[in-house]
Amino acid sequence: MQPAETAHTVAQNGRLFKSLHLLQVLHDESYRRMIGAQQNIVEARHGLGRRIFFGNHGELRQRYQNSMEDQLGGLGLALNCVTLWNTWYIDAAVKALEAGGMTLGPEIRTRLSTLVFEHINFNGSNPFVRPGLAGGLRPLRGPNTADEE
């Protein structure tokens, strides 16, 4: 096969898979729901990234590629820190609820997201004082507890 024929064959094969995908989207509701759920997760991640990266209005302002890569690496680190923090505290909250006798089924657990950020102060100063927690987490607050900070 010549390179042009190979390229044509690959392009036709891609069109075939695209057509099959479109047919599945049109006729399979569970597939559409799965695609929608994946898009929601990706959009939540992008929303958190935009919220963290608000200082330069989502623009890379460094002059050199290495500096831009450093800026993006910092953004990735911040995203991972928020996700890790949320994972620890969501896990602690689920365990506290289960210890209190409430059972959380799989339909509730699948809707928990570590990409929430309403509890994070993105403006002002954020003191990084390490509390004496002896290797544990801060105590969980109830939903009606006022902020003490």
Res 56: pLDDT: 55
67, 101, 120, 129 from 125: Cα distances, Å = 25, 39, 12, 12
Residues 127 and 105: their CA atoms lie apart, in Å, by 37
Res 91: pLDDT: 92
pLDDT-based confidence at residue 132 (cuts at 50, 70, 90) = confident
Domain boundary assignment for the chain: 8-109
Res 11: pLDDT: 82
Identify the top-confidence range among 20-29, 57-66, 68-77, 119-128. 20-29
**Residue that the structure tokens 């800026």 belong to:** 71
Res 60: pLDDT: 66
- Indicate the pTM of the whole model: 0.64
**Residue that the structure tokens 């049109």 belong to:** 26
